[in-house]
Amino acid sequence: MRLVVLSRNGSLYSTSRILRAARARGHDVRLFDPLELQIAVEGRKTRVHHAGAAVSPCDAIIPRVGVSVTRHGMLVLRHLAAKRVVVLNDAAALAAARDKIGALSTLAAAGIDVPKSVCLRSPRGLDAAISHVGGPPVVVKLQAGTQGLGTILAESRNAAISTVETLLAMGQEVVVQAFVREARGRDQRLFVVGRRVVASMERRARRGEFRANLHRGGLGIPIDPPPEIRRVALRAARRLGLAVAGVDLLPTRNGPQVLEVNSSPGLEGIEQVTEVDIAAAIVRYAEGCVRRG
**Each residue of 154-201: pLDDT tens digit?**
889 999 999 999 998 888 889 999 988 766 778 899 999 999 999 999
Q: What is the pLDDT of residue 59?
A: 93
pLDDT at 12 over 90: yes
In this predicted structure, the answer to whether residue 116 has a pLDDT above a threshold of 90 is yes
Please compute the mean of the pLDDT values over residues 123-128 and round it to a whole number: 88
Is residue 13 predicted with pLDDT exceeding 70?
Answer: yes
pLDDT of residue 153 exceeding 70, the answer is: yes
pLDDT of residue 210: 61
Whole-number pLDDT of residue 21: 97
pLDDT of residue 180: 82
- Please check the confidence at residue 215 and state whether its pLDDT lies above 70: no
CB 160 within 8 A of CB 154: yes
Q: Given pLDDT bands bounded at 50, 70 and 90, which one contains residue 83?
A: low
pLDDT of residue 237: 98
Q: Which of 5-19, 83-97, 138-152 has the lowest mean pLDDT?
A: 138-152
Q: Give the mean model confidence (pLDDT) for residues 234-238.
A: 98
Q: How far apart are CA 199 and CA 186, in angstroms?
A: 17
* pLDDT of res. 248: 95
Q: Which of 27-36, 74-83, 109-118, 264-273 has the lowest mean pLDDT?
A: 74-83
Give the pTM: 0.89
Is residue 244 predicted with pLDDT exceeding 90?
yes
Residue 81 clears pLDDT 90, i.e. is over it: no
Average pLDDT score, the chain: 88
pLDDT digits (tens, 9 = 90+) for 131-144: 999 988 999 988 76
- Supply the pLDDT for residue 217: 62
> Which residues have CB under 8 Å from 64's CB, separation 6+?
5, 6, 7, 12, 14, 15, 18, 264
Task: Determine the 3-state secondary structure of 230 from DSSP.
Answer: helix
C-alpha to C-alpha distance for 69 and 44, rounded to whole angstroms:
27
88 — pLDDT class (breaks 50, 70, 90): very high
Check residues 136 and 283 and name the one with the higher pLDDT: 283
Q: Where are the alpha helices (DSSP H) in the chain?
A: 13-24, 70-80, 91-98, 100-109, 126-132, 157-169, 227-239, 268-274, 278-292
> pLDDT at position 120, please?
87
